Amino acid sequence: MGDPRELNLKRPLLILDLDETLISASEEPPSGHHDFLCGPYFIRKRPFAGSFLAAVALSYDLAAWTSATEAYARCVAEHLFDRVSLAFLWARPRCTLRRDPCGPEEYFVKDLKKVRRAGYDLRRVLVVDDSLRALERHRGNLVQVRPFTGDPGDQELEHLAAYLIRIAGSDDFRRVEKRAWRAAAID
């Protein structure tokens, strides 16, 4: 994995989920406003999305990974990441389809082994996602946020930016306690 003394020379990678994390999408026009359209979907950006991306881009390389289709992901990325560059934009084909052993439900998992094979050290990778299940194999890399459903008073990203900037220099994100990140961000 390389010399540990070189670890902090590379910027950490922050992988961001899209739906219910950075945006809310609906086929019905939302009450109030929407920020843009992607196909039949009315998209609302989560409050502070632009300032969040600008702030964390100073400390992290950014990427996006969604279980949505590639066309939808590209459309959202064109509008959401217009001022920051992405290391990669991955969609459903990069996810792993899993079946719930207790029922007929299927769901997508973001297996970080694929990120490691792309050359990233998982000690320096964080994933921001609203779904615990999406990172079931790599929970130590997850910073879980509350799902965004369109609340204009939402402040999750404002607090999250401060927290992520604070821990950016950590040698191994998997060893950082992240379940209480909100309390740590406000301290």
Chain segment 89-140, per-residue pLDDT in tens: 999 999 999 988 888 889 999 999 999 999 999 999 999 999 999 999 999 9
Query: Dihedral through CA 8, CA 144, CA 78, CA 11, nearest 10?
Result: 0
| 184/179 Cα distance (integer angstroms) | 10
Question: Which one-letter amino acid corresponds to residue 146?
Answer: R
Low-confidence ranges of the chain (pLDDT < 70): 1-9, 186-187
Give the pLDDT score at 176: 96
pLDDT at residue number 5: 39
pLDDT confidence of residue 187: 64
DSSP state of 12: P
Identity at 171, one-letter amino acid code: D
Give the chain's domains with CATH numbers. Answer: 11-186 (3.40.50.1000)
Sheet with strand 41-45: strands edge to edge: 23-26, 41-45, 36-38
The answer to whether the predicted template modeling score (pTM) of the entire model surpasses 0.85 is yes
Report the pLDDT value the prediction gives residue 127, as an integer from 0 to 100. 98
Give the pLDDT of residue 144.
97
What pLDDT score does 123 carry?
98
Residue 41: per-residue pLDDT: 97
Residue 63: predicted pLDDT: 98
